[in-house]
Structure formats: structure tokens, C-alpha cells
Amino acid sequence: MVFIFILTGFILFFFLKRFVYWYHGHGHKEDIEVKCEVRSAEEAKELALLNLLGDAVHNFIDGMIITASLMISLPVGFATTVAVFFHELPQEIGDFGILIYGGLKATRALILNFLSALTAMVGVFLHILFP
């Protein structure tokens, strides 16, 4: 039964995306083309800092989700933890690339990315304190 709901969701969002693309993109081909702009160093740095802030909030919520699932049961918590891990792995690699693009050195980017990931622990502790 769950498979049917997931498949239906994928199909509905596929057609929703196609409809929005057709409706919005109809006759505006020049606006849809991907344009790669070179940003100034200041804009790239702002982008990197904004990415860190967004990632910190994201990781905070992930920590709360893992804690909530562990409170339900150990198997549910384990499954959620594995899912979050596999979700975070490519995202953190992408975040690292954004930080490098923002002008940070690799060591500093890794440290800041790690500190951003630690906000998941803050989410865990706050969810335990305030269930």
C-alpha cells in the first residue's frame, strides 16, 4: 500500500513539474536557457555564508527528526538515521563545493561544514529536553 502512495506522489509531482514548465516556459525559451554568470568575490562569499546558515538549520531539523524516530522505536530510528546519512552525504559534498566557490580554503571549508553539521546535535538535545 505504501508503494502505491509513493508511486502516486512521484507521478503527480512529475506531471506537476511538466505542467508548470510548459505553462511558465511556453514561448520564453531565451529566459529558460542556463546562464552561467561570474559572480564577484563578495557575492560568492555571501552565497557561501548563506549556504552555511541554511545547512545549519537543515541539520538541526535532521537531528530532531532522528531523535523523534528513535523515540518511536529503535528500528524506526535506525532506518531514519540511515536515510538521513545517505541524504546528507551528497549534500555535504555539494556544500563543500559551494564553500570552495565562495573563496574559502579547503581546511576552513571542512571545519565550517563540520560545525554546521554539529547543529544536528543541538536539534537532538533540544528535542530530548522539550519532547
Is residue 101 located within the same domain as residue 47? yes
| Same domain (yes/no): 24, 47 | no
Average pLDDT over residues 114-127: 94
Q: What is the pLDDT, as a whole number, of residue 35?
A: 53
| Co-location of 26 and 67 in the same domain | no
**Helices (DSSP H) in the chain: which residue ranges?**
2-25, 29-32, 41-72, 74-101, 106-117, 119-129
Same domain? For 55 and 75 the reply is yes
Residues 57 and 88 in one domain: yes
Domain extent at residue 106: 39-129
Q: Are residues 88 and 77 in the same domain?
A: yes
Residues 64-92 have pLDDT tens digits of: 999 999 999 999 999 999 999 999 988 99
Residues 60 and 87 in one domain: yes
Measured CA to CA, the distance from residue 124 to residue 66 in angstroms comes to 8
Clarify whether residues 28 and 49 are in a common domain.
Answer: no
Judgement on whether residues 58 and 30 belong to the same structural domain of the protein: no
d(CA 71, CA 75): 10
Tell me, yes or no, whether 32 and 95 share the same domain.
no
Residues 88 and 25 in one domain: no
pLDDT at 112 over 80: yes
13, pLDDT greater than 60: yes
Contact call for residues 84 and 58 (beta carbons, < 8 A): no
pLDDT at 9 over 90: no
